[in-house]
Structure 1
């Protein structure tokens, strides 16, 4: 069912949240009596651009929403719609994993080359995403699940390949802060989070890429697998069985939690302290 929904979104190529924002923009524009071309002239864009935003076929920047809000006398409403509907649309329309992540009861994730987005510092995320502010903000917004109380945060078992500890992202300072952030998160979220390091080696089943397995409230499972082209969500029984077996093998190779956190801290101090 989940995969069918994801496939329907991919075929339309239109994000429902972008479409909802476009509807609000069109409603406010019509109420003001402005045509698309007139609004465009006020915003120094083309009428075609306004048309695409209203149709949900392009993702506008916050600056556009703020300028349109002012022209349309929306009293901040359009900016709030942007925050609610567009900021998360920095994800491609096929990337439905954040909504799975938010609903999951338990998640087991394996990260091969970099630290997973749920655990990244802003600076680390910015380095990975090339400084794209809105994409960084969207990624960091996912981390709000750690602050919620109803429902409580998911149980998360993070299996982190040693390669992610020694692969430089951004700078030594960013790496040091990121690794110490992981140790702090593990302590602060001890009731919900375990972090284990898998010593780097060249022949284990995780070397094909990072992946995650989420268990929902009804005990159904959905997986997310990264590939060179894009990420894939899947729930076919054969795929889930394969990933479950891989996680079992990887967990068997992982260091105990206390040793893992010590290794992360030691790497931060010995490799990334300048």
Structure 2
């Protein structure tokens, strides 16, 4: 049996690559705008790579290596990070950072409410430590911040989410009322997906984050751990699932009426 591969931490490896890239860029007198133009990305993406918050593809590294006169050093470092021939492992990406830097989020939830829309009492029923609860509540500020602009969130929910008891009756009453309140914000859309015909999205809950440079990253819930991916095939498959889900989603006003009815029935 081959030795078990050690799970690397996110920041040290990506920061090591990013700091070297910045060093070569600065030494060569190349500005981030030039790299963005040559790689058909954005200045924000270049900055995220240099600060170790986002991985980059080999094609990107090839251009940067040539543009900065690194003479293959950056490519060699990239090859070392990706030496198994695959992209940075899905759990290599820091989802909370990706989420906070996104321009928009779209999520499908079939069992519980999205963490960004949970009340403290609801979250306490799902999390085991005070630190975890605090982190979840702190993450929610991306929906109400002003600088940078608040993230746009579209939450597609199964009707089961409204009736699935989490905590006490009071906890659910407060949670559903909070859901209606959050739906009033201009950057938040909540829609109930009515199941009809062939089931879709049977694989589990997920979130897709889209950034200002139009790059996308997805977070998938599994029984073992959350998986983060920016693989093209994965994103394409999720896009198709979202298309089916949105075709079955009630309009916003009807969705909120359904949530209010669930609240009243409690």
TM-score by length of 2: 0.65
Q: Which residue of 2 aligns with 1:106?
A: 104
Q: Which residue of 1 aligns with 2:181?
A: 184
**Separation of aligned partners in 1, 2:180 and 2:124:** 20
2:144 aligns with one of 147, 150, 158: 147
What residue ranges of structure 2 are gaps of 5+ in the alignment?
A: 13-90
**Separation of aligned partners in 1, 2:196 and 2:263:** 20
Question: Helix, strand or coil for the counterpart of 1:12?
Answer: coil
Q: Which residue of 2 aligns with 1:54?
A: none
Matched, 1:126 2:124: yes
Q: Is the 8 A contact 1:215 1:221 kept in 2?
A: yes
Q: Is the 8 A contact 2:8 2:92 kept in 1?
A: no
CA RMSD in angstroms, aligned pairs only: 2.0
- Number of residue-to-residue matches in the alignment: 184
**Separation of aligned partners in 2, 1:145 and 1:218:** 18
Q: Which residue of 1 aligns with 2:255?
A: 260
Q: Which has the higher helix share?
A: 1
Deviations 1:5-56 (A, max 9, x none): xxx9x7335876xxxxxxxxxxxxxxxxxxxxxxxxxxxxxxxxxxxxxxxx
What residue ranges of structure 1 are gaps of 5+ in the alignment?
A: 1-7, 17-92
1:160 aligns with one of 153, 157, 162: 157
Question: Helix, strand or coil for the counterpart of 2:201?
Answer: helix
2:204 aligns with one of 209, 220, 238: 209
**Separation of aligned partners in 1, 2:143 and 2:170:** 25
Runs of 4 or more, structure 1, over 4 Å off, are 13-16, 200-203
**Separation of aligned partners in 1, 2:10 and 2:106:** 30
Q: Is the 8 A contact 2:143 2:150 kept in 1?
A: yes
Q: Is the 8 A contact 1:95 1:231 kept in 2?
A: no
Judged with a 3 Å threshold, the aligned counterparts in structure 2 of structure 1 residues 15 and 221 are, in CA distance, closer, same or farther, namely: closer
